[in-house]
Amino acid sequence: MTSLLELKDIECRYEDRPAVSGLSMHVNEGSIICLLGPSGCGKTTVLRAIAGFEPIYNGQIILGGKVIASPTSSLPPHKRNIGMVFQDYALFPHMTVCQNVSFGLRGLSRLAMKTIAEDILGVVGLAGFGDRYPHELSGGQQQRVALARALAPNPDIILLDEPFSNLDIDLRERLSLEVRTILKGQGITGILVTHDQNEAFAIGDQIGVMYEGRIMQWDTPYNLYHDPANRFVADFIGQGVFLPGELIAPDTIKTEVGSITGDRAYEWPQGSKVDLLLRPDDILPDSDSHLIARVINKAFKGAEIMYTLQLPTGRRILSMFPSHHDHNLGDDVAIRIDAPHMVAFPHEA
């Protein structure tokens, strides 16, 4: 696979304050990547830099082997062949759906524009909606029109800035999967930014977790969850708690609930204070175990129940049990810690 887009060590600033620094990434043709991070971490700024609306003060942006932005040069947005979909749809209210979708098509006959618009409306599941006005459509339908408008000029890359955050949660999940199918079906390269990890997991082949203008880890959803590179990613992705302990062998950590041996070796000196990441799925119900914890809270999730359990030491942990393990608040349950894919970081107070 060839790298279609490459960002090399880019920096963006507002006034004198950096909003994005030392950011590098490359996007292969046909892949869909996500930038995931909390509000204010610089996601929109990166998209605006790629689209050509934000200057870069360091580094380079390379599209199809050509430098399109550097501190001394910038290809104007309309020459980049990049499509963009915004959170607030930004449809033109006085134009029909068909007119909205064909808005970005230049130099074509009226009939050619209409044909392309109708084709692309079919792709996004809105065949026959061309004569309606945006206010006659639901939020999800409006967002599909916005997607169709961005796809119509046949861009090399499509950028999506939190495109589903105004939609309710069911629709959000359905539409994220649908958008993935559409982009993959059209072979279009996509970059989506979001603060919602479920959305990122549903759409992204690869995800870059961002924090304060930098990428903290580039990885697959599976690795971000099971093998976070640092504490920020461990905290931000999924749920879990840190259990303090002491490294007594490269692969073994002594904790308040006993020694836990994993499948990786740490090179820190023996006796180092560490924090072991325990995910809710690392804690299993086990009636043969001598480790007893008390149910403090429970949240029914359908197939599973998320329990907050209190250990004999008073520390609270989260555990996800299959939902037929139905316990009441105050019950004592026997548990086993099963965390072979051990993840630990140097202890922090």
The distance of closest approach from Cβ of residue 84 to Mg ion in the complex, given in angstroms and rounded to an integer, is 12
For Mg ion, give the closer residue by CB, 44 or 100. Answer: 44
For ligand ADP, give the closer residue by CB, 44 or 102. Answer: 44
The distance of closest approach from Cβ of residue 162 to Mg ion in the complex, given in angstroms and rounded to an integer, is 6
The distance of closest approach from Cβ of residue 21 to ligand ADP in the complex, given in angstroms and rounded to an integer, is 11
The distance of closest approach from Cβ of residue 306 to ligand ADP in the complex, given in angstroms and rounded to an integer, is 28
The correct pick among 7, 10, 19, 147 for binding ligand ADP (CB under 6 A) is 19
The distance of closest approach from Cβ of residue 208 to Mg ion in the complex, given in angstroms and rounded to an integer, is 15
For ligand ADP, give the closer residue by CB, 36 or 202. Answer: 36
Binding residues among 22-61 for ligand ADP as defined by CB under 6 A: 37, 39-45
Map residue 319 onto helix, strand or coil.
strand
Q: Are 235 and 313 in contact (CB under 8 A)?
A: no
Nearest in space to 43 (alpha carbons), one of 23, 67, 28, 72: 23
For Mg ion, give the closer residue by CB, 30 or 77. Answer: 77
Q: Are 327 and 333 in contact (CB under 8 A)?
A: yes
The correct pick among 44, 96, 102, 141 for binding Mg ion (CB under 5 A) is 44
The listed partner (Mg ion, ligand ADP, none) that binds 41, CB under 5 to 8 Å by sort, is ligand ADP
DSSP string, 242-278: EEEEEEEETTEEEETTEEEE-SS---SPTT-EEEEEE
Q: Are 28 and 4 in contact (CB under 8 A)?
A: yes
Measuring CA to CA, how many Å separate 164 from each of 50, 158, 169? 20, 15, 9
Q: How far apart are CA 257 and CA 266, in angstroms?
A: 20
Q: How far apart are CA 209 and CA 37, in angstroms?
A: 6
Site for ligand ADP, rule CB under 6 A: 14, 19, 37, 39-45
Site for Mg ion, rule CB under 5 A: 44
